[in-house]
Chains A and B, each alone.
Chain A
């Protein structure tokens, strides 16, 4: 399965990437990383990832807008929002737009691994 990592922080992209590589589950391979929604949409068209981790507060095109675009490009994409925005309204809006899971920053290695596992299992059941 191909995974795309979207976050405006290089440090956070690196941390997610490291955890994905270490987990070894589900044969996940990173097909690219994006710093904002515009890059994410472009990368999605080019690589058609199965999974995307998506930050919300980003320059140019934010995460919520990006989710709508990504789902239009690839209706089967599984999107895990990873954001510091901890209010319920934001999570509900992201899910309405087509995200499948929500992980609040700061997150631990175990939490991200578990969230990805849940996302993939839910995708297999659908």
Chain B
């Protein structure tokens, strides 16, 4: 992953919150993490990457942030089911938007949404994850990018 690759995800994230909520998100400095140090915020939407690339991308956020996002989408029912749908849709949108830069061989899966820790998710151990901290409406969340070439 190069700096310009990370910038694609930063721009997609900024655009998502601006467009969906009319309220800008604050994007923190991206950093390289380790699999054991990754922070989870309660709900996560994960996208598998295939084609010329491999790995995964996930967005993890706490329930209050997702409740506010649901309101922005005009959804009044703030059930766990709807928060899972919402976190999956955020991950799907940010990953799909990245194809503008990576091209159509950046193949993305349908989102897998999870509540709690990502116990069953095993990102490729040879790829270190980049974390992009995202603060919106005072709530912290993260976009985690763990991808490399096939």
- CA A50 – CA B103 in complex, angstroms? 32
Which among A6-14, A38-46, A71-79 touches the partner chain?
A6-14
CB distance from B46 to the nearest CB of A (A): 14
- CA A89 – CA B107 in complex, angstroms? 12
Within 8 A of A (CB), among B87-126: 88-89, 92-100, 102-104, 106, 108-110
- CA A12 – CA B108 in complex, angstroms? 18
When distances are taken between beta carbons in the complex, the residues of chain B under 8 Å from A86 are: 96-100
Determine whether the beta carbon of A57 is less than 8 Å from that of B99: no
Asked whether any CB of chain B lies closer than 8 Å to the CB of A85, the reply is yes
DSSP class of A's interface residues: helix, strand, loop or mixed? Answer: loop
Determine whether the beta carbon of B86 is less than 8 Å from that of A11: yes
CB distance from B6 to the nearest CB of A (A): 17
Asked whether any CB of chain B lies closer than 8 Å to the CB of A121, the reply is no
Determine whether the beta carbon of A11 is less than 8 Å from that of B73: yes
What is the size category of the interface that chain A forms with chain B? 20 to 34
Partner of B75 from the list A8, A14, A57, A89 (CB cut-off 8 Å) is A14
When distances are taken between beta carbons in the complex, the residues of chain B under 8 Å from A105 are: 93, 96-97
Residue of A nearest to B94 (CB): A84
Contact code string B69-86 (vs A, CB < 8 Å = 1, else 0): 010011100000110011
Contact code string B40-74 (vs A, CB < 8 Å = 1, else 0): 00000000000000000000000000000010011
Asked whether any CB of chain A lies closer than 8 Å to the CB of B23, the reply is no
When distances are taken between beta carbons in the complex, the residues of chain B under 8 Å from A89 are: 103-104
Asked whether any CB of chain B lies closer than 8 Å to the CB of A90, the reply is yes
Asked whether any CB of chain A lies closer than 8 Å to the CB of B33, the reply is no
Partner of B74 from the list A10, A14, A57, A59 (CB cut-off 8 Å) is A14
When distances are taken between beta carbons in the complex, the residues of chain B under 8 Å from A107 are: 19
CB distance from A37 to the nearest CB of B (A): 12
Q: Which residues of A come within 8 Å of B, CB atoms? A: 8-12, 14-15, 18, 57-59, 83-87, 89-90, 104-108
Q: Which residues of B come within 8 Å of A, CB atoms? A: 15-16, 19-20, 70, 73-75, 81-82, 85-86, 88-89, 92-100, 102-104, 106, 108-110
